[in-house]
Structure 1
Amino acid sequence: MSTTASASDAPTGAALRHALERPATYPYAPDSITVVQTHISYVALAPPYVYKIKKPVDLGFLDFTTLARRRHYCEEEIRLNSRLCGRIYEGVVPISMTDDGLRLDDDSNVVEVAVKMQMLPHDDFLDARLDRGVLSEDDLDAVVDTLAPFYRERTSTPEIAANGRIDRIWANIRENFEQATSHRDALITHPAYEALQYAAERFMDQHAALFHQRRANGSIVDGHGDLRLEHVHRSAQGVCIYDCIEFTERFRHIDIANDVAFLAMELDVFGRPDLSRSFIRGMADAMGDPDLHTLIPFYKSYRAFVRGKVNGMKRSDPDITGEALDACKRDSQRFYQWALRYFINDARPCVVVVMGRPGTGKSTQAQALRDALGWEVVSSDRVRKTLADVPLHERPDAATRAQLYSADMSARTYATLADKAAERARNGESTILDATYSRRSTRNALRERLHDVSLQPIFAELTAPDEALRQRLDARTTQSDVVSDARAEDFEMLTARYEAPDALEDARHVRVSAHDDPDTTTLDLLKQLIRVA
């Protein structure tokens, strides 16, 4: 006879995890046991089965706080995942508290429930194939061949299509930003946070007609909602896609572009943008949907922000400590940086040149861009002194400075900057160049060098009033961490040498006032990069 215990008898997270690590908890003798956790579940890998138990949490977008709710969503998980991976699910099983402790597949005194499924070979998941360097276009083609008919079979009812309304899409985006408010400065810079909101709203305004069209043409479907590499398995038996969103329809009733963007985004972030592009091309062709290409960067940004948010939320989970906690922070920062990148250069290499007269704050803004975007900064001051074997934070005597800033040394310095940017672009990496670029000839030389790798740089010119520049250069005399040798006495000479760019020289040129506080300048710079992209 089965009974259900009261809510007060429900096991604690620590007790549940401890029980899952004990062989005696299982109705068979597993060869090994590995217990992992996410922010919403415990997963026990106990071959030949896997047990997944939902945590009793309320995160706003999901509520698993009662046993009845957890049982309901376990049943929903099986129903929904059977669409793309039905062969692995065994059912919802009870967990009872017995005299010998917690027992799985026991209904004598039920205190918890779990989804029971067959364990799939780990090496065949796409994330494992990627880690081993064997993930291929053929694998992604097989995923396309599985997803395309799945989406075509989905009927977009008026209720489902309503989730493609602009106000509902924006409500989801706004909710993400509200839930990530506490992550500002710790995980995402304040300017990046504001710039992302600006970029998302701008994109939606510019493409309002397309969003309306997607609702009308059946592109909003009851999809997967969490289409990640670790949720896709490919073996001789075919492609199995599981672990969809079961806890809320609004995260699953989405545009097909939104669904497939998650997988594309992870391929980008984990180093295979080529496979990401191949996958999206395949999906667009299979669905006869060329508009996917327009929407994918927007939805990849959305998905990256979600991953940043979720990893950030894990920091408050008492069960996550030590290196795992540090990894959550690193992953959160990386995904937030990628979310912003998608509005500037998608996943393709980019070179941003932070230029301007000495004292405009180039190095400060270059570092701010690095923090916001995760791109490497290559500084002319550092390159110059490294080439000359001069200590970075030492201002040499006048004779040495004359040699250090000679035409020959400047040519070598700027050639090195161009070579580094080109080499990084060839490797698929973006770069921030921090240099005055006062001469039209050096700017032209950079353009020519980057043309070899099919890139056109963006010149971001910082400006400030003369008096502010003099004050900043004068302040350097008391600062010990300054690499630049420019000082107030050099102002007139350096200003006379400066050849400001104009629109005729380069359309990919933005001018940003650096007279305000640094964060305001960074936000303005990011907005202009978004607009010129």
Structure 2
Amino acid sequence: MALPEIIQALLDPAHYPEDAPVEVKLIQTQMSFVLLTGRHAYKVRKPVNLGYVDYTTLEKRKLFSDKEVSLNRRLCPDAYLGVIPVTRRNGKIRLGGEGEIIDYAVKMKQLPAEGMLDLRLKSGNVTTEMLESVAKTVSSFHDMADTNGEIARFGEMDGIRRNVEENFEQSRPYIGRALSQAQFDRLKTYFDKFLSENAAVFSSRVEERHIRDCHGDLHSAHICFRDHGICIFDCIEFNDRFRYGDTASEVAFLAMDLDHYGRADLRRVFVDEYARNSGDRGLREVLRFYQAYRAHIRAKVACFKLDDPFVPEAEKAEELTRARGYFDLEMSYIRAKPVLFIMSGYTGCGKSAVASELARHLGLVYISSDITRKTLAGLPLDQAAGDEVDAGLYSREMNEQTYQSILMMAEGALKSGDPVVLDATFLSLELRKKAVDIALRKGADYVIVECRLDESELARRLEQRMTGKSVSDGTWQVYLSQKAKAEPVTEIPTGPNHVIIDALLPVTDNVRQIVDNLI
């Protein structure tokens, strides 16, 4: 569908009031068009009524534009510059100026892309200190956020149940596209059961004044690191009930998003630092519930784009993949027990690609033998060891130390209730048994993921690896050494605890097979 006349006009740099940009870029959300000029961002609301948001009249778009600026100045005061009219004069549309007001735009400073947390997560350029700073900022914000009798009502059972039921009603049309009927039913059963069994917990959250006027949409794409501080922007203005809620729900949103990016390690840092700063002793009682709830929200919002006539087909395909990933993550949160995934296979067979993607789908703590080995040796991750097979960094002693370390880390994570993926070869029966024993001792489930690959393809991949940088030092000689000593996975039959994947298939297909095995 063609873009609205207003947006087509505003894509022309000549239609801007001052310092005309060289180029204007357009980003679409479900409810808005965002125009980026390099210096500023202009947000124009779509005239939509989605039930929970109504922008259908000019007056409403003005009201919510003003409200957006006011609310977002709480956490990002200098970026929100105000609301300006979109005018038409002598048939020409422009931002500001004289003429008939045909719409409104929120004007912001354009935030630096290199500071956006979601982009930094994709590039791996995020430190624990950054998440600690976010936790302190959010904790201070929650401490000062408004609360009163009206706001507190949204933490009561009726309000929470209403939001949960709305989630399921709005995602029901996407059964068979973004999630299966079995997933939908299991998720619905979990939420109904949790709500019915934890009324006293939710009541205590209200009594302890944890229901506040929050941000409402706290995920990584709305956090920007700048030289002069953190900017948390784009809070929910269009519906108070999505902003009024438990501070634990807000924490859970970012925690879930960090899991979605495969950074459960940063999620643990963020939650621990928030709990320490806020003194919220009951946070963890409801955290996983709210993580599941927030994953469902992100999934359904991605689903909504599937029916948006302004969204291109290629983008819809990406949104469908994103929705499925969030539903998978939600399924992981509702499991009664954490899961230990034990990767197994020769060097170069694609274990790490599957393990890291699996971590993103299921919010797993990702533990790599390659990373651990080089960390123990004090080597940069991309520096080749240069050692012979079975010597130096890959000596028997170093192998034992590496596996001892990753197993200890897995045990610690499982003890905290976190699911884990161990990315290592696990070609030894003894080492696999040690990993399984840890899972059983900690009351966790386990799955051995055996990665198989045709030898000629494996040789090609190992040769290709030599031309670039890799954490792994696996070579053809290493493979031959592993092959001579390997003990096949015969102790556990294929089924719920032993999945065999073909590494010739796309990583997404293999992850789908592993995830479906859990349902």
Shorter-chain TM-score tier: 0.5 to 0.7
1:84 deviation in Å?
0.7
1:178 deviation in Å?
0.4
For structure 1, list consecutive stretches of 5 or more residues without a partner in the other structure.
Answer: 1-11, 353-369, 377-421, 432-441, 461-498, 501-507, 510-525
**Under a length normalisation based on structure 1, what TM-score does the superposition of the two structures give?**
0.66
Aligned mates of 1:158, 1:32 — CA distance in 2: 48
Match of 1:451 among 437, 442, 445: 437
Matched, 1:26 2:16: yes
Residue of structure 1 in register with 2:309 after alignment: 318
1:144 deviation in Å?
1.7
- Using a 3 Å threshold, how does the CA distance of structure 1 residues 15 and 455 change in structure 2: closer, same or farther? farther
- Report the secondary structure of 2:74's partner residue: helix
Match of 1:227 among 204, 218, 239: 218
Residue of structure 1 in register with 2:324 after alignment: 333
- Report the secondary structure of 1:350's partner residue: strand
Match of 1:190 among 171, 174, 181: 181
Whichever residue aligns with residue 20 of structure 1, its letter is L
The answer on whether the counterparts of 1:351 and 1:457 sit within 8 Å (CA) in structure 2 is: no
Residue of structure 2 in register with 1:208 after alignment: 199
Q: How many residues align?
A: 383
1:350 deviation in Å?
3.4
Residue of structure 2 in register with 1:14 after alignment: 4
Aligned mates of 1:375, 1:134 — CA distance in 2: 19
CA displacement 1:190-210 (0-9 Å, x = unmatched): 011011111112222232211
Whichever residue aligns with residue 16 of structure 2, its letter is Y
CA displacement 1:394-449 (0-9 Å, x = unmatched): xxxxxxxxxxxxxxxxxxxxxxxxxxxx9xx8997669xxxxxxxxxx9x996544
- Report the secondary structure of 1:152's partner residue: helix
Aligned mates of 1:94, 1:297 — CA distance in 2: 43
CA displacement 1:374-406 (0-9 Å, x = unmatched): 799xxxxxxxxxxxxxxxxxxxxxxxxxxxxxx
The answer on whether the counterparts of 2:212 and 2:244 sit within 8 Å (CA) in structure 1 is: yes
Residue of structure 2 in register with 1:262 after alignment: 253
CA displacement 1:71-93 (0-9 Å, x = unmatched): 00000000100111111111110
Match of 2:295 among 279, 304, 326: 304
1:457 deviation in Å?
5.2
Whichever residue aligns with residue 11 of structure 2, its letter is E
- Report the secondary structure of 2:94's partner residue: strand
Residue of structure 1 in register with 2:51 after alignment: 60
- Report the secondary structure of 1:72's partner residue: helix
CA displacement 1:155-184 (0-9 Å, x = unmatched): 421111110011210110001100111111
Residue of structure 2 in register with 1:397 after alignment: none
Whichever residue aligns with residue 34 of structure 2, its letter is V
1:99 deviation in Å?
3.2
1:458 deviation in Å?
3.3
Which of the pair has more CA radius of gyration? 1
Residue of structure 1 in register with 2:475 after alignment: none
**Under a length normalisation based on structure 2, what TM-score does the superposition of the two structures give?**
0.68
Output aligned runs, 1:128-527, within 5 Å.
128-344=119-335, 349-351=339-341, 448-451=434-437, 458=445
Match of 1:74 among 62, 65, 72: 65
1:300 deviation in Å?
0.8
Superposed CA RMSD in Å reads: 3.4
CA displacement 1:315-348 (0-9 Å, x = unmatched): 11111123211001100111111111101178x6
- Report the secondary structure of 1:320's partner residue: coil
Whichever residue aligns with residue 19 of structure 1, its letter is A
The answer on whether the counterparts of 2:256 and 2:363 sit within 8 Å (CA) in structure 1 is: no
- Using a 3 Å threshold, how does the CA distance of structure 1 residues 351 and 341 change in structure 2: closer, same or farther? same
